Structures are given as C-alpha cells and as structure tokens.
Amino acid sequence: MFAKILIANRGEIACRVIKTARKMCMATVAVYSDADRDAVHVEMADEAVHIGPSQAAQSYLVPENIIAACKATGAEAVHPGYGFLSERASFCEALEKEGIIFIGPKPKAIRAMGDKIESKKFANAANVSTVPGWLGTIENAGHAEKIAGEIGYPVMIKASAGGGGKGMRIAWSKAEVRDGFDRARSEAKSSFGDDRVFIEKFVVNPRHIEIQVLADAHGNALYLGERECSIQRRNQKIVEEAPSPFLDAKTRKAMGEQSVALARAVDYQSAGTVEFIVDGEKNFYFLEMNTRLQVEHPVTELVTGIDLVEQMIRIAAGEKLAIKQSDVKLNGWAVESRLYAEDPYRNFLPSIGRLMRYRPPEEGRFGDVVVRNDTGVTEGSEISMFYDPMVAKLCTWAPTRLAAIDAMSEALDSFVVDGIEHNMPFLAALMQHPRWREGLISTAFISEEYPDGFAPIAPDSQEKAIFAAIATAVELLRRDRLDRLGGRLAPHSGALKRDWVIKIGEDYLSASVLGGMISIPLELHMSIDGGKALTVASDWRPGDLIWRGTVGDRRVAAQIRPVPNGFRIAWKGMSVTARAMLPRTAELERLMPEKVAPDTSKMLLCPMPGLVVSIAVAEGQEVKAGETLAVVEAMKMENVLRAERDLTVSKLKAKPGDSLAVDAVIMEFA
C-alpha cells in the first residue's frame, strides 16, 4: 500500500479523496492554483504544492506541474478525481514513465472508453447496443448539418473528450445544428483542449441510468447496481438516486452484465461507470463509459456500503477485489442533490462571490436516516468564475425512496448558504414535486415541468397559514427581546397583544393569539384567518438562521432572514416576505405607495458575472428577434445572449475580454 498519494484536483472531490486516504493511514498532497490558495482541500492535506495561475489550463490541466509536485513531495501515486486530467491517457503514461502510479484505469482503457467517439466504435464492435449516430470526423458546420439531416432530428452534438454537460448541445433544426456545432467545439476546446465533436440521434424522453463497475488487475470484475441521473439541466446532472425507481431486477442484471463484459473487453482496472439511456420500454443503449470516479458516487456508497475511493486505491496498489458479485446487496435508497452557485430565478445562470454563511445540516445517522455532505468549501470561501459552480453534494439515505426524499427535503431546508445565489430553492421545490416523488421522470423533466424557467412557488392557503404562524411567533419573541433591553423608554406592560395582521406578499392574514407565554422554548396557541386553533412550538431564538418546530401537526424547518420591518421565510422551495403588524399599523400600511422597478427594456444586461467572449453587433445595426447579440462565458460554459425582439443597437457599453458583474449594461437599444 502507498505511503503518500497526491490528489490532482480541487474542491469537494479532493476533500473526499483525502478523507479516505486518512482512513487508510496515508499521507496526502494537495495541489492548488492562485484562486485556491486558501481552499479547504489545501488545509486538509498534509502537504500542498502551488501549481500555477487561477485558469485551469495553466494549473490543474498541466501534467508537468502535477508530476513536478509528485517528485518534490515523494508522492507514490496520483488520484485524479474527476474532470481535469482524470481521463487523459497521456497523463497516465507520463506518470508511468516517472514510476508514479495512476489511481485509475490503464491508458488502453482510457483511450478505448474515455474518448466518446472511439468508445462508440469499440462498443459497436463488441455488440453493445448503441444509439445511431456519426462517429467520424466532422469538418465544419455545413458537414454537421448534412449529417444531422441524414440521422433525423433531434440530434445531440457532443464533445468527444467531454463530460459534465460541457461541449454538448441538442439541435432540433438546421439553424440550431450550425450554432450548436460552433458552441460545442468552442466549449470543448476551452474545457478539454480538444475540439472534436460527434453527432448522434437524440432519444426523446429517455432516462439516464448508469452502472457502477469495479475491476482489478487479476481478472475480477463486478457491478454495484445502478444510479438514475435523469434530473438534468443543460445536460448536467442535478439530482441522482440509487437504485433507479424504473428498473426491474431483470433489466438491472442485463445492464450490469453488459457493463462488466465491456469493462473486461478493455482490461479495465479501477472504478468506472457505464452510462446508458433507457427508453420507456426498458430498452437500453450504451451512451459512454466514464473511466473515472463519478460525481454521484456517494449514492452508490450509501446503498452498498462500499467505499469506492478505497477500492480504487487498493486496485491501483495491485490488490485483488475482496468482494464478489454475490456480496453486493442494494440496501435502502439514497438521493443526492447538487448544490450549485447559480440563480434558479434567472434561468440558472452562474453566481460568484463569498460564502458569507455556509452551514450544512449535521452529518451522521439519525434514526433510520443518514445525512452526508461532500463539499470543498467552508464559511468565508470564495466561489470564483474559474471553475465548476458546484458547491456541495448533499446526500440522504433511508430505508425507502420516499423516506430518503423527505429526509433530503428537511436537510435542504436546514442548509444555510448566504452570499451567493444558489439553486437550493429549486432543489427544495423538486423534492415536493408529485412527478418526481412518483418516479415518473426523464431527462426532459425540467424542460417539461419548467418550460419558462423556475419561478418562485406561491404558497397555498394552508401553507400561508403556516408562514403567518411562524411570523407571528418570531415577531413576538423579537419584541419581547427588545422590551428586555435596558434603557427602554417604554418597557412592555406585560400584557400579550392578542390581535395581529401578517402581510405575506399582497395578502393580509389575521392572527389571533389565544394563549401561551413568551418564553424559550416557545409554545403559543393561535388562530390564523379565523381558522381552527393550532399550537406553535419551537426553541428558536432571535438571531437563529433556522426556525425548527411544529405548527399544528406539521414539523417545520424554515430559513429565517430579517428584512426591513419583517422576515424572509423560506420553506420547501417557497420563499415569502412576512411582516407581522398590529391592526392599526396594517391599516396604514395598505395606504403606502408601491415602489416601481426602473425600466431596463432598452438595455442588454449581463445575466451573470462573466467574461465577454464576443459582441456580435455594431452600433446602429438593426437586429431581428432571436439573433445573437453577445456571448458571455462563466464557469466554463458559454452563454449566448439573443435579441428578444426586433431592435436597433444604439450604444455598446462592453467589448470582448471585459469581465462584467451581474446586471452590468452590455449595450443599449434605440
């Protein structure tokens, strides 16, 4: 076994590998760029080596820098994590020449399976069912159009060296093929240093189901069940689960055995994932093989009890697999939610900034539920524009699927993140979605259920009553705390005011306090809008960020943030501003004029912090609706900004190469 390993990665996966290495009593070496100088993985490792500037192409993607760090620290092996150099055969060979072990498959397997075009050819030769497509060289956008027409729309344009949804576009027409081809090549070049793309038929409404495999250097190979990753946005996974609610035992066995056969065919030696798309009749088609550890590996670990990072290290050290196929049992259900630094209310555009507050829910086993959070940040960490926007992977396990989903819902409600925009409201809302809870999903789920983007969820009357009850309880405790401060001119008389009005959005709800005492823990009896009496109980204190308690028979964990004259309360994907007022105050408040937002209809605003890649128009130019105005890159993804209507450009306020903040003006229109 190795005495010291180097992790050629950053963020949560670097931290994840370090945890297992510690458990196996190995010393660890971290590498870091300028942007990651104060990162968590740097602090966790026993040693850390600086490898270059913030841009990945000048640091984490430079093999020579990684090898130099190995030599300087005496690291015997390198774990690549995922992304970056994890699927680059030349990096594996360079390590071997220096006598350094690559904790992953051999170059032959990486070349055969890691390249999306070659893997398709190899799978076809091995009689593995694949999706119809064109695997040869595509010369230009015109050639791409011709191929797409022959295959039949819709088609998927994918980077050969791609992954993580980057360098990938779905096209439904000739125009979309031409634009998608250019964008996919550009993203592939900047993300992977390889601009080759291929085209295949896009199977409408498929499920994305993948099989986890393990294989050693002694001819042993097995599969660890499946993960369903159908909840995707822009071809990037957001929520994963294990097992799949769709597969039966027969299909699972067939997919697993086919995956193992494919792994054996390329002499695979490590953990790997064979991805399939599965149609409504349970027909499955080979999509690709990821010759590395997957982002979503924790759900497999939770249902099998097998540490995949440990297995990778042991296989790389030459050990035989200590488990057989018959030893693999799927126990319970696990769900993973990816917390991204992106704004769900602005079409999930990336967000950057400092984590002013970052307090994940407590990890561990709580009765029949397990909570796990894989992360590479802490409170005060900076989310930069240079890397992937994923902040954390929150996982829950329970004996049944619905129990795991409910546990995830409560864990999301208890996860405090301030300072950046994030997708927690969307994840929390998803956990309540009937179609998700029933398992009736496909890769088109988000586009079908949120065709106009994700909008704030409006609470129903029962949910408004819960928000009003919480707001009343919070306001009474806040006022009581103020009344106990010394030097008050008019201390509280001691009488508990009975009647309140709670404004939620544009609605005014009456709240009547029927009994109880203002104390911590709090227990109040109240009625909302003349409804039946209910009891509100909580140990919340002024200043706490999470309100935990019960409202009637509902158990609630809600986020509380102060706003002028009230509170912002978030719960289960809903977020409201609640203001608790005395009746006379509410009467006067109704008379206040409404503040109108400024008109920005004649401006193109930057929808996210990012780098201006190109400006497609000139001052005075007339453009038609749908035409490209500019391209902005953020977190390795290019975002095309198009005209929403016919207009004339009057003034350009930005140029290629500019770094813009969110809502910065790019151009103005006449």
Q: Which residues have a catalytic role annotated? A: 288
DSSP tag of 110: I
Q: Given CA atoms 421, 422, 424, 425 in this order, what sign does their dihedral have?
A: positive
Residue 44 falls in which region: left (phi positive, over 0), alpha (psi -120 to 50) or beta: alpha
Distance CA 382, CA 40 (A): 11
Q: How, if at all, do strands 610-615 and 603-605 pair?
A: unpaired
The structure tokens listed for 396 are 């829950």
Peptide bond into 53 cis (omega under 30): no
Q: Given CA atoms 462, 468, 474, 480 in this order, what sign does their dihedral have?
A: negative
The number of residues in the chain equals 670
The structure tokens listed for 248 are 């039966």
Q: How, if at all, do strands 77-79 and 101-102 pair?
A: parallel
The structure tokens listed for 57 are 């192409």
The structure tokens listed for 145 are 């159009």
User: H or E segment at 357?
Assistant: strand 357-359
Report yes or no: 286 and 130 within 8 Å, Cβ to Cβ.
yes
Report yes or no: 338 and 393 within 8 Å, Cβ to Cβ.
yes
Contacts of 90 (CB under 8 A, 6+ apart): 63, 107
Distance CA 49, CA 408 (A): 37
- CB-side neighbour CA atoms (13 Å) of 527: 9
The structure tokens listed for 314 are 């042991």
Distance CA 340, CA 335 (A): 16
User: H or E segment at 262?
Assistant: helix 249-265
Report yes or no: 27 and 47 within 8 Å, Cβ to Cβ.
yes
Q: Given CA atoms 42, 48, 53, 56 in this order, what sign does their dihedral have?
A: negative
DSSP tag of 490: S
Nearest residue to 414 (alpha-carbon basis) of 352, 366, 462: 366
Question: In degrees, to the nearest 5, what angle opens at C-alpha 228 toward C-alphas 282 and 634?
Answer: 125
Distance CA 184, CA 536 (A): 54
The structure tokens listed for 224 are 């660890």
Cβ-based neighbour number of residue 63 at 10 Å: 17
Report yes or no: 95 and 123 within 8 Å, Cβ to Cβ.
no
Distance CA 348, CA 453 (A): 8
Distance CA 47, CA 43 (A): 8
Rounded to 10 deg, the angle between the 89-97 and 63-73 helix axes is 30
The structure tokens listed for 117 are 């075009």
Nearest residue to 617 (alpha-carbon basis) of 637, 586, 646: 646
If 0-12 CB within 10 Å is exposed, 13-18 middle and 19+ buried, where does residue 175 land? Answer: exposed
If 0-12 CB within 10 Å is exposed, 13-18 middle and 19+ buried, where does residue 2 land? Answer: middle
If 0-12 CB within 10 Å is exposed, 13-18 middle and 19+ buried, where does residue 620 land? Answer: exposed
User: H or E segment at 473?
Assistant: helix 461-483
Amino acid identity at 670: A
